[in-house]
Amino acid sequence: MQSFRTELENPVVEKDIIDLEKKIRAFREGKIHDEKFRSLRLARGIYGQRQPGVQMVRIKLPFGKVTFKQLLRIADISDKYASSNLHLTTRQDIQIHYVSLDRTPQLWAELDQDDITIREACGNTVRNVTASPAAGIDPSEPFDVSPYAQATFEYFLRNPICQEMGRKFKIAFSSSEADTAFSYVNDIGLIPKINSAGQRGFKVVVGGGLGAQPILAYPVEDFLHEDELIPYIEAIIRVFDRYGERTNRNKARLKYLIQKIGIDEVLALAKAERKALKVKSYKINRDAVALPEIPDEKKFTGVEITNPFRYEQWLATNVFEQKQKGFYGVYVKVTVGDISSDDARKLVATLEPLAADEIRVTQNQGLLLKYIRKEALPALYNGLTALNLSSPGFDSIADVTTCPGTDTCNLGISNSMTLARVLENLIYNEYEELVYNKDIKIKISGCMNSCGQHGLAHIGFHGGSLKAGAKVLPSVQVLLGGGTVGDGTGRAAERVIKVPAKRATDVLRKILDDYQANSAEEETFHAYYDRNGKDYFYQLLKPLADLTTLTDDEFVDWGHQETYATAIGVGECAGVIIDLVATLLYESDEKFGWANEAFADGRWADAIYHAYNTFISSAKALLLDKNINVSTQSGVIKEFDNSYVNTGEIALDGSSFNDLVLKINKHDPSEEFAVAYLKQAGEFLNTVKAKREELVQQ
């Protein structure tokens, strides 16, 4: 551990990494329960793979921003610790695979040397804050949302209010009403607005999410002033933390809390939290995201384009003029989001004389390059072509989004990566004219959880299985009609039919042939789908669902040679809650220690929230002694009163547990209140320990 102390300049990160190393050692020694350790490592970006004994490490890149130096660092890390591959995700992260758990602390330490983190990239936390990749150069944007996304990332990283929620929480900033960050499928989605007084603010939508049951976000604010952004988000998260489900992970998202108690009640509860907030107004530093270094202007001579037609396609589909006149943004289509570490280095070498020192990872697993001068475009195209990164049709029907599926994911039911490649090749070879079509999006997930965004696809597929007699074969569920409408509004794709996976190519052909033959002139895919209706497409595709015509090949999944067999592991999209009394009391001690550390640092609000969690964790421990397992923090508070205070087993100086704990949202987070609240939390913890000891002795 000495190497971390000498290499790291940030003492907070150093402490995080030392703590991770200690937790791994304790886990290896059997001192931490397996499920508890899972939640610990997930909150540090370490995710179990389908393959036993190795981990996927998710690298958190706020709004997808990565510099040349950082990309080179990640490439080196992948060579040293992983499989020499970088996987771009739909939430603008980079993932590396096949990492040994014991090497993750050193890996993190080396990433931090270039200000890259894995903290809270997975688990029951605020996940990577996403934004439109073109933010800052988008000709349609009212203003650049990048500094606001950066401020949100910084404010909630390591924030006590969102370290152990019932499930993950997702926030997205779109750069304009085009809504290219998909605000409507996030827990909080934000779209920039300027009001009549010239002030900056955001339209706010709340409670969206994909998964097995897509729910579109509710519009709640037409204009939220920029200074209210951070407090507003914090209040919503506090409500989710206290009232959100914690036992049934399938219902542990904000969208289900809204279903349960209603959007008006969620907003009312959030309003009641405002007194307790660390800040009532938060001024965003608009200069927090500096302008990237732009290469000097130079002349380019002797640049020959060997395939002028392909170059023109690329210019038409992958290149746009920025709002900064004279400069161009260039999208790079990265097939299935995979780029080797060697190609990442060659890409940086290609870009250094041609583009600004800032790359953005896009939501469809590509890259955006910035500040390229027009005369540099031919040289850039040739450089990208040498790396097989100049395919035209970015964000078109030929640009298929996919999750890793059965390649590495525990939850994958059928292959998605090979299928994506097959469908892209089909478009290029049979429907090349459609590479210009950005109206239709194809998205694939290896299971129903929508990591590949199939729930918002015009044409979506998710993995599954079918039974044919005594045998099982891989299948895809076909979904149609989803996608972005704009300004916070979207459409969830409808399930139409399930067919053998090997027939996905025939599904795509049938849909595209029908669309080309029967759509009206200039008719969008959404209008075409709505005009015909779901049953029309069910009947169109029904012959492909006929299992009496199966061939041997259809029992083998895409990209495989062996006969298909379902093998689903335990999903790790969020931490698993462990209701063990001893573990909970251990956690209570740890949380109270954090409360005192925060108090000593003068962080009154953080100290108060750690003390609040001490109350909850201690009470839950005693409830478990009576076999009472409550699924929300608000339920713990209510049930503790019913089972211990009202029965006289525990006296709280004439106060109810509810009144004691919920002082948190009745007071400003001052030093005076922090002193009193921490004192009460410590006394309650000691009372619980004494009661627990008494019960053990009986």
CATH number where 21 lies: 3.90.480.20
Q: Is there a single domain that holds both residue 598 and residue 689?
A: yes
Same domain for 381 and 324, yes or no, is: yes
Tell me, yes or no, whether 409 lies in a domain: no
User: Are 490 and 178 spatial neighbours (Cβ–Cβ below 8 Å)?
Assistant: no
Question: Is 289 among the domain residues?
Answer: no
State whether 158 and 104 are in the same domain.
no
Give Cβ neighbours of residue 29 (< 8 Å, ≥ 6 apart). Answer: none
CB-facing half-sphere around the CA of 431: CA atoms within 13 A: 25
85-88 vs 338-340, strand pairing mode: antiparallel
> How many structural domains comprise the chain?
5
Whether 73 and 101 map to the same domain: the answer is yes
Q: Please, are residues 599 and 674 in contact by the beta-carbon 8 Å criterion?
A: yes
Give the Cα separation of 141 and 138 in Å (integer): 5
SS (H, E, C) 177-193: CCCCCCHHHCCEEEEEE
DSSP 8-state symbol, 91: T
Provide the residue range defining the domain that includes 362.
308-386
Q: Cβ distance 478 to 541 under 8 Å?
A: yes
Q: What's at 694, amino acid-wise?
A: E
**What's the CA dihedral at 188, 191, 194, 196 to 10 degrees?**
-70
Number of neighbours of residue 250 by Cβ within 10 angstroms: 11
Q: Is residue 298 domain-resident?
A: no
Relative to beta strand 327-332, strand 367-373 is antiparallel
Strand-pair category, 483-486 with 489-491: antiparallel
Tokens standing for 20? 């991770």
The identity of residue 45, as a single letter, is: G
Task: Give yes or no for a contact between 418 and 559, defined as CB atoms under 8 angstroms apart.
Answer: yes
CA separation for the pair 376, 160 (Å, rounded): 48
Q: Please give the Cα distance from 284 to 229 (Å, whole number).
A: 9
147-180 CB burial, b ≥16 within 10 A, e <16: bbbbbbbebbbbbbbbbbbbbbbbbbbbbbbbbb
| Tokens of residue 617, six digits | 């964790």
| Sign of the dihedral defined by the CA atoms of residues 523, 527, 528, 531, in that order | negative
> Can you give the CATH number for the domain in which 484 is found?
3.30.413.10
Q: How far is CA 11 from CA 16, 108, 288, in A?
A: 9, 14, 22
The CATH number that applies at residue 680 is 1.20.120.330
Residue 361 shares a structural domain with residue 323: yes
Could you tell me if residue 252 is inside a domain?
yes
Cα(593)–Cα(440) distance, integer angstroms: 53
pLDDT along the chain (698 residues), means of 10: 54 88 87 77 86 92 98 98 97 96 93 94 95 98 98 97 94 98 98 98 97 94 98 98 92 96 98 95 97 91 92 98 97 97 98 97 98 97 98 97 82 87 97 96 92 95 93 95 97 97 98 97 96 98 96 92 65 46 84 96 97 96 90 96 95 92 96 98 95 76
Pair (134, 225) in one structural domain: yes
Q: Has residue 605 been placed in a domain?
A: yes
On whether both 184 and 272 belong to a single domain, the answer is yes
| Residue that is written with structure tokens 């591959």 in the block | 85
* Helix H or strand E segment including 171: strand 171-173
pTM: 0.94
393, part of any domain: no
**537 and 596 together in one domain:** no
Judge whether 7 and 86 are in contact, CB under 8 Å.
Answer: no
Spell out the residues 6+ positions from residue 338 whose beta carbon is closer than 8 angstroms to its own.
85, 86, 87, 88, 417
Q: For residue 697, how many C-alpha atoms fall within 13 Å in the half-sphere facing its CB?
A: 6
Residue type at 87 in one-letter notation? H
Dihedral over alpha carbons 383, 388, 394, 396 (to 10 degrees)? 150
- CA-to-CA separations, 499 to 262, 407, 479, 546, in angstroms, rounded: 37, 21, 11, 8
Q: Are residue 152 and residue 102 in the same domain, yes or no? A: no
For residue 6, the model assigns a pLDDT of 43
Q: Using an 8 Å Cβ cutoff, are 551 and 471 in contact? A: no
Structure-block tokens of residue 231: 């407090």
Side-by-side strand order, sheet with 218-225: 130-131, 171-173, 188-194, 200-206, 218-225
| Residue 326: how many other CB atoms lie within 10 Å | 10
Angle in degrees, 0-180, between the axes of helices 633-640 and 604-625, rounded to the nearest 10: 60
DSSP codes, 421-453: HHHHHHHHHH-GGGGG--S--EEEESSTT-TT-
Residue owning tokens 């059928």: 414
Domain match, 265 and 158 both? yes
- What's the pLDDT at 383? 97
Q: Is residue 490 domain-shared with residue 451, that is, in the same domain?
A: yes
Residue 299 in tokens: 């002349």
The answer to whether 66 and 93 are in contact (CB under 8 A) is no
C-alpha distances in Å from residue 349, one per residue of 112, 343, 625: 22, 10, 62
Among 350, 367, 386, the domain boundary falls at 386
Q: How far is the C-alpha of 359 from the C-alpha of 370, rounded, in Å?
A: 7
Looking at the structure, do residues 594 and 548 belong to the same domain, yes or no?
no
